[in-house]
Structure 1
Amino acid sequence: MARPPHAREKVLLAYAQLLVEGERAATMDAVATRAGVSKGGVLYHFPSKDALAEALLGRFAEVSAADVKAMQDDPDGPVRNFIRTSWETDADLDPVYRAVMRLAHAGHEGALGMLESLHDDWLRELETETGDAALAKTVMLLGDGLYHQASMPGRWSQQQFSDLDELLAQVDRLLGR
């Protein structure tokens, strides 16, 4: 009897969550427990940790492509989209991004390559809009700082940086708008 399709997704989500908590914590037994399935259920979908990592990278490719497409399609432009979404830590990209970052920190070459590719894609979109490589890098660093602050525990960041309109107005001034 085939397992319900959602079991695979639960296992993949559990793996990503455990990676964020620490790469060594993401054992097959821990993934099974977190997903609420048997270890056999995990192995049915992912016969090894390498298979789990590859599936996570596949998911990362999907959400990354959607993120870049959203930048391209945003009527306010890639720069404003990037700044606005850098503050979001509950978007589809975030948990997968953090999990892939953990894999990269652990030395997974595929994860590192995919992160670098996404960063290149973001920078290319920012540079296309700004027409200036240094300005595009500045915007990217602003977004990275926002993401870092949004990821911090506590309320300080939310209190200090809750008004994105003010920040976007500063970015518009940087862009000469």
Structure 2
Amino acid sequence: MPATDPDDPAPAPDAVPDPASSPGGTARDRILDAFEELLVQQGERGTTLEAVAAEAGVSKGGLLYHFGGKEALVDGLLARMAALAREDVERLRRAERGPVDRWIRGSLSTATPFDRAYVATSRLAQGNHPRARDALTHLQDEWAAVILEAVGDPAVARAVLLIGDGLYYNSALQPWLGGSAPADEALDELIRVVDDLVRLRSARG
């Protein structure tokens, strides 16, 4: 579950984005964006080279100039995902109000570049792409390690991760199910519940 914080500051103006990891305006980035979008919306079956080229607004020859074929597109997406995942884990680790607070509040964010890359990678993982599955497993392990370090209890860490997952999937379904995101007060209460769990488990030794 992506834990991107919508309040994170934008990169510094002089920062140079990595084309392999940042959606942007170059032809290569537009092609990756198109591949990502089609994966999210249609699954891998909708990502023929012709469909990706049309979505990106380039010719098939232009696509093949930047990516030699479908596997090269997969490589590009996984490189983008890996870069964004590293940034996300680092932000989670150094969050000002702590990893648990950021994990829970960030679980409501489902329209970020990281979220799109995560969902697109998940679509690949559902098919014959073991590297996509490995990437997601590694990311889940990284998130779990940061939360465990913060709460000091494996059972509580698992509960925190599942709370975030539930918030994320509920948020992703809201456009179809209606309803609204939990208010800040509700999130505050969830975080207090986690704090109570940590204290209770610590007291029990």
| TM-score relative to the length of structure 1 | 0.91
1:16 match: 36
Question: What amino acid maps onto 2:27 in structure 1?
Answer: A
Cα drift, residue 81 of structure 1: 1.1
The question of 1:175 aligning with 2:198 is answered yes
Alignment of 1:93-132 (within 5 A): 93-132=114-153
The CA RMSD measured in Å over matched residues stands at 1.6
| Residues 74-107 of structure 1, C-alpha deviations (whole Å, 9 max, x = no match) | 1111111111111101222100000000000013
Structure 1 CA distance, aligned partners of 2:176 and 2:193?
Answer: 25
By relative contact order (CA 8 Å, sep 6+), the higher-ranking structure is 2
Cα drift, residue 58 of structure 1: 0.2
Aligned length: 172
Tell me if the contact between 1:86 and 1:144 (Cα under 8 Å) persists in the aligned partners. yes
Tell me if the contact between 1:150 and 1:157 (Cα under 8 Å) persists in the aligned partners. no
| Residues 119-154 of structure 1, C-alpha deviations (whole Å, 9 max, x = no match) | 000000000011001110110001111110111023
Gaps of 5+ in 2: 1-24, 201-205
Divergent runs of 4+, >4 A: none
Structure 2 CA distance, aligned partners of 1:157 and 1:174?
Answer: 29
Is the alpha carbon distance of 1:162 and 1:156 closer, same or farther for their aligned partners in structure 2, counting shifts above 3 Å?
A: farther
1:158 match: 180
The question of 1:146 aligning with 2:161 is answered no
Cα drift, residue 174 of structure 1: 2.9
2:89 match: 68
Which structure carries more helix by proportion? 1
Identity %: 42
